Every structure is written in structure tokens, then in C-alpha cells.
Structure 1
Amino acid sequence: MFTFVLRRALQTVPVVLGVTLATFLLSQIIPGDPTDVLLGPGASDEARERLRTALGLDRSMVVQYLYYLGNLAQGDFGQSFTFARPVIEVLADRMANTALLAFAAIALASAAGIAAGTWAAVRPGSLRDRGLTVGVLFLNSMPSFWLGLVLILIFGLHLRLLPVSGMSSGDGGPLNLMAHMLLPTVTLAAWSLAAIARMTRSSLLEVINSDYVRTARSRGVGEARIVLFHALPNAMPAVITVIGMQMGFLLSGAVLTETVFSWPGIGLAMYQAISTRDIPLIQGGILVLALAFVAINFAVDVLYAYFNPKIKLA
């Protein structure tokens, strides 16, 4: 197991370097000059050249990238133009909010998706199985921002049951936070719920039709016990993989959801940075989300190997 984990960890190194290269190239391909943001369009050419020299923009791309890697190694993500603070501080303040929303969404999607997929797999071809298929197609076809706007329109404007923006209002408190989290969590979880339910159903159907399940039935074991204690655990490795992938997608999908609901996370900060051409903050936000995606995939690989010993032997 240690050898497997070490090999997977080493394989993430070129991926991380590729992510840093992609975020660096982002600053090179975005149209415009960063000095326009810092000095304004009316600045003189001399002032622009002095600032470009101070920022190292007059160096070659290779040298700039090496300096960029060196700064990242020291935890220096640059200075945010929008918030007039170091990028790492802006991201650190908001990472917990994004993580809270993403983990709540994946918990909801996992619980509901596994339950729905199991419920449908027990009776393949039945009305509830066909209903799940239609529901999955419906959720997969809905953009998250559209679903968020629909939920705001129904539960915020018409029914006035739930708040539609921010993390708290009034005196705050846990219940107030939960009320503010409900709509963005459902919005963010919808697509992942459909993917997890579909994978749970297909994986469970494959296991249910195996020989050892038929043997258990012939011995008189109850159907509920067969599904919950024999079939479902053996179907979980594939489901865990999907859950891990969806967690990474939720972190990136939080950009739209946080913008719709004004949730003060990394996604909203990146939206504001794009609006103001704050390249250091855009770079830092993409880098943090990409590294989180890599870390989640690494954890999923380890869990998959733990549940499936054949992977370690391979």
C-alpha cells in the first residue's frame, strides 16, 4: 500500500507543474496590459515602463515563469488589485466558505444519489427506475446558474421562505447560516446527485446479477440484507470514484453558484477579479482550485485502492 501511495504521489508532481504553467500562461494570453489596471489609461509611457520593470514584465517568459515558481514556493501569490491585499490572504479568508458550501453539496448529493440509485436498482425496469432515468436526464441538462435563479424566484421572491444572498443576516447563528446555505447547496448538488445516482444504479445492477448474490438468495438471505451488506459495499469503489470527481467539479462549479447567490467564497472573488482584470487574483484562485482538484483525485485513488485490493496488486 505504501508503494502504491508513493507512486501516486510522485505522479501528481508533473500535474502540479502543469497547473502552475497553465496559470502562468493565463496572464500572458489575457488581452490588455496589467499597467492599465494599476495606473489607469491616462498614465504616461514612462510610468508604464517603470511599472513593467518593477513587476518583471520586461523579462522573457521563461524567466518570468521561474520567478513565478519561486514566489509560489514561498507562498507569494502576488498582490490583488481589487482588494489591495496579498492574494493568499484573500483566498485564505474565502476558502473556508467555498469548502463549506462544496462539502455540504457533496454530502447532500452523495446521500441522495446513493439512496436513489439503490432504490432504482432493486427494481430494474420498474416505474421508479424509469423515473430515476428521466430525473437524471433532467438534472444533467440544467445549468447550475439557471437552477439557482429558478430557486431564488420560487423560494425567495414568491414564497419568501429562504434568504437568497450572502451567508448571514440579522444576528446570524447556525440556523441562520443553514437557511442561507440551503438554496446554493441544492443548486450546487443537483448535477452531482444525478451522476452519483446513475453510477450507483449501474454498478449495483452489475453486482446484484453476480453469482454470489444468487447464492445468498438461494440460502434464504433477505433481499434488504443482500443489497445493503453484500451488494452495495462491492459496488462502492466505482461510486467513490465518481464522488471524488464530483467534489473537484463542485469546487470549480462554485464560481457560478457563489456569484448567483452572492456567497462570499473564492468563486465570487474570482468573478469580481475577472470584472476588474485582477490577474494575480484570477491566477491564484485557479491555482488553488486546481490543486484542490489534484489533491481530491489523489485521495480518491488511495481510497479506491483501499476498497479494491486488485488495484494495489496491479
Structure 2
Amino acid sequence: MGTIGLVIMFAPAIGPTFSGLVLEHLNWHWIFWISLPFLVLALVFGIAYMQNVSETTKPKIDVLSIILSTIGFGGIVFGFSNAGEGSGGWSSPTVIVSLIVGVVGLILFSIRQLTMKQPMMNLRAFKYPMFILGVIMVFICMMVILSSMLLLPMYLQGGLVLTAFASGLVLLPGGILNGFMSPVTGRLFDKYGPKWLVIPGFVIVAVVLWFFSNVTTTSTAVLIIILHTCLMIGISMIMMPAQTNGLNQLPREFYPDGTAIMNTLQQMAGAIGTAVAVSIMVAGQHDYMSTVKNPADPAVIPQALTAGVQHAFVFAMIVAIIGLIGAFFMKRVKVDH
């Protein structure tokens, strides 16, 4: 899992810097055109060399489950995304209807899975407490990671007035270190278990987010590099240990379901985290603008953006503290299968 984490975490580290370089010289369409050959290459290699390492069961595809899951997960992700991006915010009828439809769809999907003899996603995995705790830890991590990846570039470009490429360079060291930390945390997990990695990890994350909630338009890029690097170290101490420990408690036949549940909820965490962070940031900007004498002054805009970012990082810190409380209940799972 540590080696897998190296690959998963290293790629997003390069992404912002590469994207910033492309945007400096080309338009945003080129980000996708340049990515296309690598995606095709990955597809070819997967077809040619990937092999099944577990028994193929070929479960029956339940059309109703597919429809309900699409409505449920799609409605929630769409609702939260629109809440963060749309002009109406959380009071928008589109957001409210999407969230209600999504919740109803997920309830019906859950009932369907629990009553099927061969469910498409076996939700009985939630009978295992360490798996539930692992899901929560990963959910919180993804909320923090993706909301930070959204907020920091906006702050660097809007608050510190850096270029897109310079903003990517600021975030590069932390992302690279996060990737290299994954194998290290994997070995520490094998030696000490998850608890003594996850608890210090959440402490580091919460403290760093508190510092981020106090950034100003005069903060230096060096400070942001140090804080972001520390944030990524904390995340690496939480993500893979919590995920591995949670999956370890599941019986072997639940592995595909547990992995699917975690992957699905990670996408939801990203949508929820970014939407809430953007909403709080926008509200913070409006509050700041209402206190200034001349809102039309261009010099006020970076300060307003920074004030909104501060509020959003307070939200992220509260989420991290909730994760810290949950980490005290984590127990090491001994693998007997």
C-alpha cells in the first residue's frame, strides 16, 4: 500500500506545476491534449499486461442498482458542486432538489443492496468497526487534500499575486515529499500499527491548517512551502495507514466491495470538501467587502480573497480535529486471512 501511495500521491504533486507551466504559454485546452497520449498509453499497457489476481465471480449486473447508485451519488456530487459554484449557493432550488434526490437515491440503493443475495456493492462491510473508522479517516483526508488544493492556488494567485507557474512551484515540494513518505509510512505501519501514525498525523494537519487560517497578503511564499510540506507529511501519516487497517479487517470476499466503497466515498469527499470550502470562502469575502469603505478599490480584492481563504481553512481545521478525535478509537487489525 505504501508503494501504491507513492504513485498516487506523486502524480498530483507534479500536476499543479505542470498545469501552471502550460497555462503560462498555452491555453487550458492543452492540458487535456497533452494528457491524452499518456492516457492512451496507460490503456494499451493495461490491456497488454494487467492480469487478474483474484477469482473472477462474474456477478449478475442489476440494472436497478446501477440506476439508483447513479441517481444517489450523482445527485449528491452535483448538488454539492453546484452549491460551491452556482450563484444561488445553498439556497438554490437546483442544489436543494439535487441533494434531496441524491439522498433518496442512496437510501433506496442501500436497501436494494442489503436485500439482494448477490449485491453489486456489499454494504455489509460496514459491520466491521475498523473499516468504518478507516472510511471516515480517508473521507476526511480527501476533504482536506482537495479543498486545500483548490484554496491554496487561489490564495497564491489572488492573494499573493503569483503566476500560475509560480503557484505550482510553491506546491511542488510538499506534493513530492508526500509521495516519498508513503513507503516510509507503510514500513512504520507494519512496525507500530496505525494509531501512532494517524494521531500525530491529524495533530500536524490541524496545527498546519490553523496556521493557514492566519495567512495574510504579506505572507511569504517560503512560509506557504513549509506549511504545505508539513500538511502533506501529516496527510501521508493518515491516508494509507487508515485505509490499509480498515481493509485488513474485512474478509477476503469483501475486499472488492471495501475498495469500491472507499473509492466512491473519496469522490464524494472531494465534491463535498471543495463545495463547502468555496462557499465559506465566498461568504468570508462578502463579509470583508461589507466592512470596507470602497469595495470598488482593486487593492481590496486580494485582502478580501485572503479573508475568505482564512475562513475556509478554519472549516478544514475543524474537520481535522473531528478526525483526530476518531483516531483515538483506532485499533490495529491482525490479518488472519
Scaled by the length of structure 1, what TM-score is found?
A: 0.35
Q: Which has the larger radius of gyration?
A: 1
